[in-house]
């Protein structure tokens, strides 16, 4: 009985404590930078699309809401021909961001994406693509990866040794 | 129609309308208070302070589909929710709000209220039975068992008050408290009646008949629209009725200095209603067997002891 009275008293005291909620549409709550909301596709510092259409995000996605198709440009760089996220199925789990080897796909702290028409929840590549690098300012996949593309040969990446010519080795 | 009859009808409809409106308003009061106690504002958007939330809810309930499942026992299913409202409103007939304000002055007023508030359980049991649904049936069984157990000492706990006042008439019980409120000599009776009152109105923490976490919604699982609304209003009516009864029996009814009697009555009742809400905010629901054990093994002996001691002391004083 005492413990019941005590908990009633403790709850009663909350009448005089400040409220922890904010009145949302009038006052926006603070969201952490890594809050998981609307998904964007970012570009590397050179302004090129980061996504290399590896499909890892689509594989990782639990509700299977990412769909994309690989295409290749004249330099041999891969990019998604189309890239589609169905936000009416996305559960904002962030697994796509974790799976992505190029930091291309990122979640942002924007969650206000209601629509009256379900079809409008399907975002195409032009809706997803942004002009900046997102959370990782200096990262560029092709500058650190060993793959040769137009304008960057093998061994030209940062911290990469020149390829070894095995026929030149005197074994 | 003669003038006194007309006056009487006006009082009856006046009081009943006010009481039903208050019950509806209580849905808003409860949510606001719960909100504050949970560190959030509660419904505050519709109208000033969110007061019109009640109206919005009413409109919503009226426009919901009034669905009767095809497997339900149709007449009983429809009858059940009206019973709780009817019995609760009848219970208000004998409540003395202030000198001269009240519907009837029965000399068995107390018994009448007790009878009406126990009749209300038929509404729950019948509704549960007519729904033909497992969860509802379990809820109904619980309600029946709970009422049977708590009814026993609910009545017994009041006998002390009756002995002190020497009357079953609620008005006379109030006037008998002019020397001092019965909550002091009958503190144990007050506590027991309060607990029984919570069980009687199926309010948290004794809301086992509807226990959302185990029984989806218990006895009103199959109910929708205004039928559900009537169960809801019935529950709030019984909260008000129990609070009004406690005020009348233990807290001196309309007695109080300076302010007009009716205001005193309303203030005391309103504070008790807030305590009901606080209970809901603070306490978890006991397990069903704990509830039964508590009733039979703790409350009943306590009520009997209270009765015995009160009787003994009264005899000794004579
Ligand atoms: S956040 Fe989760 S659900 Fe949404 S697209 Fe990424 S992996 Fe799929
Ligand atoms: S967004 Fe990332 S994981 Fe998905 S296809 Fe493009 S590069 Fe691969």
Render pLDDT for B133-183 as a digit per residue (tens, 0 to 9): 888 888 888 888 888 888 888 888 888 888 888 888 888 888 888 877 877
Q: Which atom of ligand 1 is nearest to the CA of A87?
A: 4
The b-or-e profile of A22-53 (16+ CB within 10 A means b, else e) is: eeeeeeeeeeeeeebebbbbbbbeeeebbbbb
b/e sequence A125-142, b meaning 16+ C-beta within 10 Å? bebbbeeebbeeeebbbb
Taking only residues 18 to 37 of chain A, the set having a beta carbon closer than 8 angstroms to any beta carbon of chain B reads 18-21, 23
pLDDT at B217 over 80: no
Ligand 2 touching residue A52 (CB < 6 A) = yes
Q: Can you read off the two tokens belonging to residue B132?
A: 């033909």
For residue A122 and ligand 2, the question of a CB distance below 6 A is answered with no
- Candidates A21, A22, A27, A29, partner chain B, best to mutate (most B CBs within 10 A): A21
Q: Which residues of A are annotated as a binding site for [4Fe-4S] cluster?
A: 51, 54, 57, 61, 90, 93, 96, 100
The arithmetic mean of pLDDT across residues B99-103, rounded, is 73
Q: Confidence class of residue A29 from pLDDT cuts 50, 70 and 90?
A: confident
Question: Quick check: A14 and B283 CB within 8 A?
Answer: no
Cα of B277 to ligand 2 centre, how many Å? 53
- Of B73-87, B128-142, B153-167, B201-215, the range with the lowest mean pLDDT is B201-215
| Contact check, Cβ <8 Å, B278/A4 | no
Minimal C-alpha gap between B79 and chain A (Å): 37
Q: Which of A68, A70, A97, A142 to mutate to test the pocket of ligand 2 (most atoms within 8 A of CB)?
A: A68
> What is the mean pLDDT of the segment spanning B249-263?
81
Distance from CA of B103 to the nearest CA of A (A): 36
Instruction: Give the closest of B37, B41, B283 to A4, CB-based.
Output: B283
Closest CA to B115 of B142, B141, B151: B151
Note the pTM of the prediction, 2 decimals. Answer: 0.78
Contact B280, B66 (CB under 8 A): no
- The response to whether residue A128 sits with its C-beta less than 6 Å from ligand 2 reads no
| Closest Cα to atom 4 of ligand 1 | A90
Q: What is the pLDDT of residue A165?
A: 81
**Residue A96 pLDDT > 80:** yes
What single string gives the DSSP state of each residue in B121-154? HHHHHHHHHHHT-HHHHHHHHHHHHHHHHHHHHH
Instruction: Please give the ipTM for the structure prediction.
Output: 0.71
Kindly report the number of other CB atoms within 10 A of residue B276's CB atom.
23
For residue A39, which ligand has an atom nearest its CA?
Answer: 1
Chain mean pLDDT for chain B: 83
| DSSP, residue by residue, chain A | -HHHHHHHHHHHHGGGSPPS---TTTSPPP--TT---SEEE-B-TTSSB------HHHHH-TT--EEEEEEE-TTS-EEEEEEEEETTT-----HHHHH-TTS-EEE-S------SSGGGGEE-HHHHB-SS-TT-SS--HHHHS---BTTB-TT-STT-PPPP-GGGS--
**B15-69 pLDDT, tens per residue?**
888 888 888 888 888 888 888 888 888 888 887 888 888 888 888 888 888 888 8
Determine the pLDDT at residue A67: 94
Task: Say how far apart CA B146 and CA B150 lie, in whole Å.
Answer: 6
CATH class of A33-142: alpha beta
Tell me the average pLDDT across A21-33.
Answer: 86
Q: Which residue of B has its CA nearest to A6?
A: B282
Percent of all residues in chain B with a pLDDT value above 70, rounded to a whole number: 98
Mean pLDDT over B71-78 rounds to: 84
Higher pLDDT, A117 or B151: A117
CB-closest option in A11, A18, A19 to B278: A11
The closest alpha carbon to A91, from A118, A125, A65, A59, belongs to A65
Q: Check residue A24 and give its pLDDT.
A: 85
Averaged over B284-313, what is the pLDDT?
Answer: 87
Backbone φ, ψ for residue A78 (5° rounding): -85, 145
Residue B2 reports pLDDT greater than 90:
no
Is the pLDDT at B215 greater than 70? The verdict is yes
User: Tens digits of per-residue pLDDT, B236-248?
Assistant: 888 888 888 888 8
Q: Note the pLDDT of residue A171.
A: 65
Mean pLDDT calculated for residue range B68-89: 85
A116 touches chain B (CB under 8 A): no
Residue A38, pLDDT score: 92
Least Cα separation, residue A109 to chain B (angstroms)? 23
**Does the pLDDT at position A20 exceed 90?**
no
For the residues A82-89, what does the mean pLDDT come to?
93
Does residue B142 contact residue B127 with C-beta atoms inside 8 Å?
A: no
pLDDT (tens digit per residue) in B107-132: 888 888 888 888 888 888 888 888 88
Residue A11, chain B, CB below 8 Å: the answer is yes
């Amino acid at each position: 009985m005492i413990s019941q009275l005590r908990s009633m008293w403790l709850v009663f005291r909350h009448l005089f404590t400040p409220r922890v909620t904010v009145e949302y549409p009038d006052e926006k709550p603070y969201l952490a930078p890594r809050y998981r909301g609307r998904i964007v596709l970012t570009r590397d510092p050179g302004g090129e699309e980061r996504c290399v259409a590896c499909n890892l995000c689509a594989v990782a996605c639990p509700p299977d809401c990412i769909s994309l198709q690989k295409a290749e440009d004249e330099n041999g760089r891969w990019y998604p021909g189309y890239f589609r996220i169905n936000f009416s199925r996305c559960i904002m789990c962030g697994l796509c961001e974790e799976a992505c080897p190029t930091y291309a796909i990122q979640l942002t702290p924007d969650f206000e994406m209601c629509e009256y028409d379900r079809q409008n929840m399907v975002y195409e590549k032009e809706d997803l693509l942004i002009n900046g690098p997102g959370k990782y300012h200096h990262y560029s996949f092709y500058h650190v990866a060993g793959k040769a593309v137009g304008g960057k040969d093998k061994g030209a990446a940062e911290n990469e040794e020149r390829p070894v010519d095995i026929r030149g080795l005197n074994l | 129609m003669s003038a006194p009859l007309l006056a009487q009808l006006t009082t009856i409809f006046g009081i009943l309308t006010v009481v039903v409106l208050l019950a509806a308003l209580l849905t808003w009061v409860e949510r606001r208070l719960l909100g504050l106690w949970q560190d959030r504002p509660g419904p505050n958007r519709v109208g000033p302070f969110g007061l019109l939330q009640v109206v919005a809810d009413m409109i919503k309930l009226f426009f919901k589909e009034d669905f009767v499942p095809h497997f339900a026992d149709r007449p009983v299913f429809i009858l059940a929710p009206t019973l709780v409202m009817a019995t609760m409103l009848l219970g208000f007939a004998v409540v003395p709000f202030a000198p001269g304000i009240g519907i009837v002055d029965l000399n068995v007023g107390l018994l009448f209220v007790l009878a009406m508030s126990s009749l209300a359980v038929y509404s729950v049991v019948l509704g549960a039975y007519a729904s033909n649904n497992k969860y509802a049936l379990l809820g109904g069984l619980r309600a029946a068992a709970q009422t049977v157990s708590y009814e026993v000492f609910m009545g017994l706990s009041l006998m002390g008050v009756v002995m002190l006042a020497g009357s079953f008439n609620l008005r006379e019980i109030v006037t008998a408290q002019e020397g001092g409120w019965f909550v002091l000599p009958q503190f144990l009776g007050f506590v027991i009646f309060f607990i029984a009152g919570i069980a009687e109105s199926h309010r948290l923490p004794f809301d086992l008949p509807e226990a959302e976490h185990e029984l989806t919604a218990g006895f009103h699982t199959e109910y929708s629209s205004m039928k559900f609304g009537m169960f809801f209003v019935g529950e709030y009516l019984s909260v008000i009725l129990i609070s009004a009864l406690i005020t009348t029996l233990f807290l001196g009814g309309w007695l109080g200095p300076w302010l007009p009697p009716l205001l005193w009555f309303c203030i005391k009742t309103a504070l008790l209603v807030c305590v009901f809400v606080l209970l809901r905010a603070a306490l978890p629901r006991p397990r069903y067997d704990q509830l039964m054990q508590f009733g039979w093994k703790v409350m009943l002996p306590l009520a009997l002891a209270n009765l015995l001691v009160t009787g003994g002391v009264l005899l000794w004083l004579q």
